[in-house]
Amino acid sequence: MSEPGDVEIFQRWLQAKLAATDHIEDPEERQRRRAHIESAISETISFRDSLQKLESLESPSPFIERDSAVRSIENRNDLVASNDSNVCPKCSSQLLADLDFCPVCGEEI
């Protein structure tokens, strides 16, 4: 068997926390805490299953890693001056000079 992944380690940690709820004296607090942890375990199992399905697909990963940002978000000078031709006709958001679509709604310009 291979080494457990981070998700499986997290699930085991949650299961240990669930077992530790037996020591909570207040029955309402114990039940509330168990419900939260059981919900988290359920979501973890669902997430792990989704990851396994994604890994089993033969298609390339949908995620792309880049060495640097495509466009710096600190440089806000790229914003186009606000006039009728530089406002999205669909959502009225301000358009960026270097894009052929609205960054808010995706409308092609």
Dihedral (C-alpha) 50, 52, 53, 56: value to the nearest 10 degrees?
160
Is the model's pTM score more than 0.85? no
Listing DSSP states for 24-92 in one string gives: --SHHHHHHHHHHHHHHHHHHHHHHHHHHHHHH--SPPS----SS-SS-SS-GGGBPP-SGGGB-TTT-
Quick one: how far is CA 32 from the chain centroid?
26
Each residue's pLDDT, cut to its tens digit, for the chain (109 residues) gives 346 688 899 999 999 999 999 999 999 999 999 999 999 999 999 999 988 887 787 766 667 777 776 666 665 555 544 445 688 888 888 888 888 888 888 888 7
pLDDT at residue number 39: 96
Write the pLDDT tens digit of every residue in 5-28.
888 999 999 999 999 999 999 999
Least Cα distance to 31 among 21, 42, 41, 39 occurs for 21
pLDDT at residue number 69: 67
Q: Looking at the DSSP assignment, which residues form a beta bridge with residue 87?
A: 94
pLDDT at residue number 2: 46
Q: What are the boundaries of each domain within the chain?
A: 6-56, 79-109
